[in-house]
């Protein structure tokens, strides 16, 4: 075997070994950073995301809640909002945690559902739903806000 071929093969192996060491070390560093976060830091970050609005809850009408649940299940909400996990938009439970369950916030959320919204939850933009009636949007908002009470 010629020395040039041996060096080429050995050099190639050395590069692969070094690359493997670097990649494995960077993976450890990232997981270590994630492990360094305390539960308090994680909950503070979540609290900053949700930003609870103070206010009194009202008793919500069970029939309106059921109607809102049905309307949401047949709407286009699912691709962006899940019940308990943040996706493109906030989780429905996070919305329920932020706002008090009362007529003021039901009306506010209904208007956002109809007109669309942006900025309340960071970068996501919610598309408008102009074909919804105020009554249907209020039922949907009532269902969402009821999730925190249940």
What's the 3-state SS for 42-107? HHHHHHHHHCCCCCCCCCCCHHHHHHHHHHHHCCCCCCCCCCCCCCCCCCHHHHHHHCCCCHHHHH
* Predicted confidence (pLDDT) per residue in 88-99, tens digit: 999 999 999 999
Residue 148, phi then psi, degrees to nearest 5: -75, -25
pLDDT band at 25 (very low <50, low <70, confident <90, very high): very low
Among 22-26, 36-40, 45-49, 92-96, the least confident range: 22-26
pLDDT band at 143 (very low <50, low <70, confident <90, very high): very high
Instruction: Verify that 88 and 144 share a domain, yes or no.
Output: yes
Q: Is the pLDDT of residue 24 over 60?
A: no
Q: Is the pLDDT of residue 135 over 50?
A: yes
Instruction: Verify that 88 and 115 share a domain, yes or no.
Output: yes
Instruction: Verify that 10 and 53 share a domain, yes or no.
Output: no
In a domain, 44, yes or no: no
CA distance readout (Å), 4 to 12, 16, 55: 12, 18, 77
Instruction: Verify that 53 and 31 share a domain, yes or no.
Output: no
Instruction: Verify that 53 and 125 share a domain, yes or no.
Output: yes
Instruction: Verify that 61 and 97 share a domain, yes or no.
Output: yes
Specify the higher pLDDT residue, 48 or 134.
Answer: 134
Instruction: Verify that 87 and 138 share a domain, yes or no.
Output: yes
pLDDT band at 130 (very low <50, low <70, confident <90, very high): very high
Instruction: Verify that 73 and 126 share a domain, yes or no.
Output: yes
Instruction: Verify that 32 and 68 share a domain, yes or no.
Output: no
Domain that holds residue 17: 3-36
Chain-centre distance of CA 35, in angstroms?
A: 21
The residue with tokens 């999730």 is 147
Instruction: Verify that 60 and 121 share a domain, yes or no.
Output: yes
**DSSP code for 132:** S
- The reported pLDDT for the residue numbered 123 is 83
Q: pTM score, two decimals?
A: 0.71
In a domain, 57, yes or no: yes
Percent of the chain with pLDDT over 90: 57
CATH assignment of the domain containing 102: 1.10.760.10
Structural domain total, the chain = 2
């Amino acid at each position: 075997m010629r020395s040039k071929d041996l060096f080429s093969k050995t050099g190639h192996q050395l590069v692969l070994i070094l690359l493997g060491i670097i990649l494995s070390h960077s993976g450890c560093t990232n997981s270590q950073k994630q492990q360094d976060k305390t539960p308090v830091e994680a909950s503070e970050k979540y609290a900053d995301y949700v930003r609870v609005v103070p206010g009194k809850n009202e008793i919500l009408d069970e029939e309106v809640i059921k109607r809102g649940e049905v309307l949401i299940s047949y709407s286009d909400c699912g691709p962006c909002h899940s019940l308990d996990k943040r996706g493109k938009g906030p989780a429905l439970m996070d919305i329920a945690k932020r706002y008090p369950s009362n007529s003021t916030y039901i009306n506010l959320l209904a208007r956002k559902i109809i007109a669309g919204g942006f900025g309340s939850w960071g970068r996501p933009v919610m598309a408008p739903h102009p074909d919804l009636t105020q009554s249907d949007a209020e039922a949907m908002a009532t269902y969402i806000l009821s999730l925190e009470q249940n």
